[in-house]
Structure 1
């Protein structure tokens, strides 16, 4: 996973399918739950911000979020690299001073120790995949 993040340029938007196709056989499951099932049953998207922890294993944490349009995270900095995968909707992601639009089925890397923020441009569901080097 760390190699995947290193290969992505900061703020580069990437389609999930292209990563899976390029790294076929190299991506291992860290959570046994089906993403659609978590979003359909675990998160309704009817609150302002909802979240559910999907799993944690060897320095990787996966959390599913649902944000109403206009809602988002506060600006913050973390010691972990974070991959943001947009499952539905559109988000504005701020990394440092750069604003990036990320759409359904795209992901963007937010490097450790750089201020970042995610805001929903429309109702949105996403995964935060937080990675800490062991």
Structure 2
């Protein structure tokens, strides 16, 4: 990807769904854009790598190691490797997930 990307406009919401779009993937990690409709989420899971989440539109709830964090547009949080986490959409929201495999 060589051209600038407007992240808010690069993915659309879908009623009753979570939509994802991988922007870049290589051995170092992945960069994935997500759009969550209100009430949607990702169930609790863990990953063997640190991950950085940046909320780019709306507001989402992140449960990391049993602690709830409500993030809104412009905020980010780091999800540590091997710590269970889940995502819930209190309202429609979009996020950028950067997974670091190093």
- State TM-score, norm by structure 1: 0.69
SS of structure 2 residue aligned to 1:44: coil
How far 1:52 sits from its partner (Å)? 0.5
Query: Which residue does the alignment assign to 1:111?
Result: 80
1:87 matched to 2:56: yes
**Residue 33 of structure 1 contacts residue 54 of structure 1 at CA under 8 Å; is this kept in 2?**
no
Q: 1:33 to 1:49 in 2, by over 3 A?
A: farther
SS of structure 1 residue aligned to 2:31: strand
Report how many aligned residue pairs link the two structures: 101
How far 1:51 sits from its partner (Å)? 0.7
CA RMSD of aligned residues (A): 1.6
Greater helix proportion: 1
How far 1:32 sits from its partner (Å)? 3.7
Ranges in structure 2 where 5+ consecutive residues have no aligned partner: none
Q: Distance in 2 between matches of 1:113 and 1:33?
A: 34
**Residue 55 of structure 1 contacts residue 61 of structure 1 at CA under 8 Å; is this kept in 2?**
yes
Bigger radius of gyration among the two: 1
Q: Distance in 1 between matches of 2:26 and 2:2?
A: 11
1:77 matched to 2:51: no
- State TM-score, norm by structure 2: 0.90
How far 1:33 sits from its partner (Å)? 5.1
Query: Which residue does the alignment assign to 2:21?
Result: 52
